[in-house]
Structure 1
């Protein structure tokens, strides 16, 4: 397919559902850095997809199997039909799928549009021995794009050593785009004065000190540190308390300067945002993930002197961990910033642009 100068061509960004917003956010990081002449368009299984509209990116929602209540066979048919229709309608120069499990039907949709180049954006750090059967699906794509991981030296998963176009760690925003402390707190509606911590551990009970979230909140509050959470359900448990605040903003990364420290899971996005943007963090990895090796990621950061890591905050371990965070966290965060290799999102966008100008799929 020829690409005439001055004509916008679509880059179709397709995200799987996942447990959070990582896939969608990573695609948006690529899309907002595409050069003139390429126009991002998002099709996502995530119910959070409307957030991309804030960046002026058109979007479509394709409900996941769980969201539809369909059985697997019915949903696979729906996915295949929606993908085929979208590819036929948009005729994208490039289609990018971000996920660790390319769905059946995507290959047929690509075959129906031979002018579309295809890229698998495939995050690494898989748990050892997991998901190996998916690697053969690389043959559906013209290129595999691997967003870098600061913990890559600790990666023992199936993607290690495979053929891929590797770029630096990808985050949606860069340090120059972030607010200063005062502006960030105003934007989030937080107190102007006093120390604040971001607690982002997923679901939890703020009133149960045997729970990870509850233990973190108790330890921080007892040391005079206000707590900010991102889930309304957790905040509602703290009704009447003036030391717990709900923050709702996308992307929260542009306002991380509002917080003095963080206690967070070690998913790809939060891990790289906190380290690249200099937020002192105690990582509490979620080991219940099906594939993402958060334990290896968090422990590597601790070994490199970039952050703290704790497998649990229960069993009386939280106080020592929070004391270490408040005392050592700022120095560790500075070390992480000094080791920052830069944002790989621009290099990823360059790859997509190069593919957009090279014609039909091989």
Structure 2
């Protein structure tokens, strides 16, 4: 097609609006997960591009999205000022290259280098995706929300959509839980076991206690493995893509690295998990009985979230720090297997779709104004 024909075609089928997702690198995969959740719902209607501080950038590319990586401040040898200065330059170059209509930041607080680059570029529509449920008394950095066109709060279990107007004219939007996959994308038990190479017979337990970057989960994990093996379970242990140190696994334990994990959860009879946002939402979505081991050392209130899960589905909450606690917790969980259980209420899980629609509306509005 020659240039004139291309120009004519573009006038008929204008290019999709460009949305740049900036995800920070947390203790787990949460920030990246949420951005991918939004981006997947925009497929075919927008051009999602990623600027990622998470090292698992290949996961973004495997899902078909463009991505650029910049080192997290937690892994950089630079001072805070130098790192933010470097960020402003690198992000500024990215903005000039992809020319986004909307920038979506998912992190606890926006970096100064991020805000400086957006201001220098000309500030397209800005969105801040900011998960809540912090523990009482947690110190936070004040952020002027009036600088954002949209603040999205991914809700906990039971949250419903609501909106409030921000001082600067934008809006704050609470949405139901955000999941990477839709429920119909989850494999059933037989298909999931086939995909993972697991036998159709036998009982399997999946361990997903987090990357272990901020908490050593080896002792708890090894203790629980012994209890489940004594009960006749075969063990599968998830190795997180962003883990910097792998737990040494006993003989016979199968390591597993897949993404998104939610697709395969129904292969397992039970799941042993930390109580991070994404995993809890995905467990409820899949409906797999769970032993939740909250990490009390993080800013988000994993203990409270774990108990929310236990109110919605068969789940046991325990610190599992002693042999006695582990024996009791596993016993309670196994007692739930096979028992009839009905959720107390229907739990909406469409937060990603609602947020994506709001982001796309901003992008289309911005595009029309140019």
2:249 corresponding residue in structure 1: 237
* 1:145 partnered with 2:152: yes
Q: Deviations over 1:34-73 (max 9, x none)?
A: 1634110011100012101111101110111233322222
Q: Distance in 1 between matches of 2:175 and 2:208?
A: 27
**Structure 1 residue 303 displacement after superposition:** 4.3
Post-superposition shift, 1:191?
3.0
Q: 1:271 — aligned with what?
A: 280
Aligned to 1:160: none
Paired residue for 1:219? 227
Alignment of 1:165 with 2:173, yes or no, is yes
Q: Are 2:223 and 2:323, in contact at CA under 8 Å, matched by a contact in 1?
A: no
Larger mean CA deviation between 94-103 and 291-300 belongs to: 291-300
Q: Report the 3-state secondary structure (helix = DSSP H, G, I; strand = E; otherwise coil) of the residue aligned with 1:66.
A: coil
Query: 1:111 aligns to what SS in structure 2?
Result: helix
Provide the residue aligned with 1:9 in structure 2. 17
Mapped partners of 1:176, 1:346: distance in 2: 14
Mapping of residues 223-302 of structure 1, within 5 Å: 223-231=231-239, 236-238=248-250, 241-242=251-252, 244-289=253-298, 291-302=299-310
TM-score, normalising length: structure 2: 0.85
Residues 219-276 of structure 1: per-residue CA shift (max 9 Å, x gap): 11100011111128656431xx33x111111111101111110111000010100011
CA contact (8 A) 1:188 1:248 kept: no
Q: How does 1:41-52 map to 2 (within 5 A)?
A: 41-52=49-60
- TM-score w.r.t. structure 1 length? 0.87
Contact 2:19/2:102 (<8 A) preserved: yes
Aligned length: 341
Please state whether the residue corresponding to 1:11 is helix, strand or coil. strand
Report the equivalent of 1:80. 88
Q: Report deviation, 1:284.
A: 0.8
Task: Select which of 179, 189, 206 maps to 2:197.
Answer: 189
Of the candidates 100, 106, 126, which is equivalent to residue 98 of structure 1?
106
**Residues 179 and 255, structure 1, Cα contact 8 Å, conserved in 2:** yes
User: 2:321 aligned with 1:309, yes or no?
Assistant: no
Distance change >3 Å, CA 250–CA 305, structure 1 → 2? closer
Name which of 318, 333, 346 aligns with 2:326.
318
**C-alpha separation between the residues in 2 aligned to 1:199 and 1:320?**
18
Separation of aligned partners in 2, 1:312 and 1:102: 35
C-alpha distance 330-172 of structure 1, shift in aligned 2 (>3 A): farther
Distance (Å, rounded) in 1 between the aligned partners of 2:124 and 2:234? 50
Secondary structure of 1:97's match?
strand
Runs (5+) with no aligned partner, structure 2 = 1-9, 161-170
Rounded to whole Å, the distance in 2 between the matches of 1:74 and 1:329 is 54
- Residue 19 of structure 1 corresponds to 27
Contact 1:280-1:330 within 8 A present in 2 as well = no
State how far apart, in whole Å, the 2-side matches of 1:150 and 1:265 are. Answer: 16
Check conservation: 2:158, 2:348, Cα contact below 8 A.
Answer: no
| Cα 1:34–1:17 shift into 2, 3 Å | same
Residues 121 and 147 in structure 1, CA contact (< 8 A), matched pair in contact too: yes
CA shift in 2, pair 1:334/1:25, >3 Å: farther
Contact 1:295 1:311 in 2 (8 A): no
CA distance in structure 1 between the aligned counterparts of 2:158 and 2:316, rounded to whole angstroms: 14
CA deviation after TM superposition for structure 1 residue 182, in Å = 2.2
Assess, with a 3 A threshold, how the Cα gap between structure 1 residues 110 and 82 changes in structure 2: closer, same or farther: same
- Quote how far apart the aligned CAs of 1:140 are: 2.8
Query: Which shifted more, 183-192 or 54-63?
Result: 183-192
